[in-house]
């Protein structure tokens, strides 16, 4: 089984990076509004959390006593089609994996409504996946820096953890928790530069 993160993994490149930069701005703006502080002060708080928790600045909300729903609701207002373009190479990769009989899944801490917009903007067909797990409003993020979701996915499909690979760009959310669960891992940016190199790696 092959599991993918979405942001900066399946959807990548210069235009995607411009979009993802907005995630940080939205986090900081939302935090600033809730706390009644300047954007600079909110950025400092978020940066402290990013440094302490493997890039997970969103933990600042809970530390400050606020539910992550505030950030979820701000993120889904984004319009990815203003930033992104089709990614045929990602679509071809997914089709290749499916043709070779891999079970293909996506697990992301991104909101489900945002995932739909991302796939629409990049013309990635959701039917290319056996399953997609995203963040449901009012629920904990699926990964949340924990190993639980990786264990559950493997166990529910009766697939050995060492026969499953998690591919992602985040050490804190993708690689370390998946390794703890016994999965193989592939870090984008270290092992390979982007997913287009994946077929050669496998």
Q: pLDDT tens digits for 159-188?
A: 999 999 999 999 889 999 999 999 999 999
User: How large is the average pLDDT for residues 95-119?
Assistant: 96
pLDDT at 134: 97
Q: Which residues have a Cβ under 8 Å from the Cβ of 94 and sit 6 or more positions away?
A: 10, 104, 124, 125, 128, 129
Question: What confidence tens digit (pLDDT) does each residue in 122-167 have?
Answer: 999 999 999 999 999 999 999 988 999 999 999 999 999 999 999 9
Other beta carbons within 10 angstroms of residue 36's beta carbon come to 8
């Amino acid at each position: 089984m092959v599991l993918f993160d979405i942001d900066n993994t399946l959807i990548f490149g210069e235009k995607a990076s411009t979009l993802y930069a907005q995630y940080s701005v939205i986090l900081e703006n939302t935090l600033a509004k809730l706390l009644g502080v300047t954007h600079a002060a909110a950025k400092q708080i978020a940066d402290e959390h990013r440094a302490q928790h493997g890039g997970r600045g969103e933990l600042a909300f809970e530390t400050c006593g606020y539910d992550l729903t505030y950030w979820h609701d701000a993120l889904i207002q984004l319009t990815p089609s203003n930033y992104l373009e089709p990614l045929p190479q990602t679509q071809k990769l997914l089709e290749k994996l499916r043709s070779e009989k891999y079970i293909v899944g996506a697990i992301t801490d991104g909101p489900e409504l945002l995932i739909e917009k991302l796939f629409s903007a990049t013309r990635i067909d959701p039917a290319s996946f056996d399953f997609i797990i995203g963040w449901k409003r009012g629920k904990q993020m699926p990964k949340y820096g924990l190993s639980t979701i990786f264990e559950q996915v493997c166990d529910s499909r009766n697939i050995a953890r060492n026969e499953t690979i998690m591919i992602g760009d985040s050490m804190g959310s993708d690689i370390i928790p998946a390794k703890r669960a016994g999965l193989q891992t592939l870090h984008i940016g270290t092992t390979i530069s982007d997913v287009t190199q994946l077929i050669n790696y496998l």
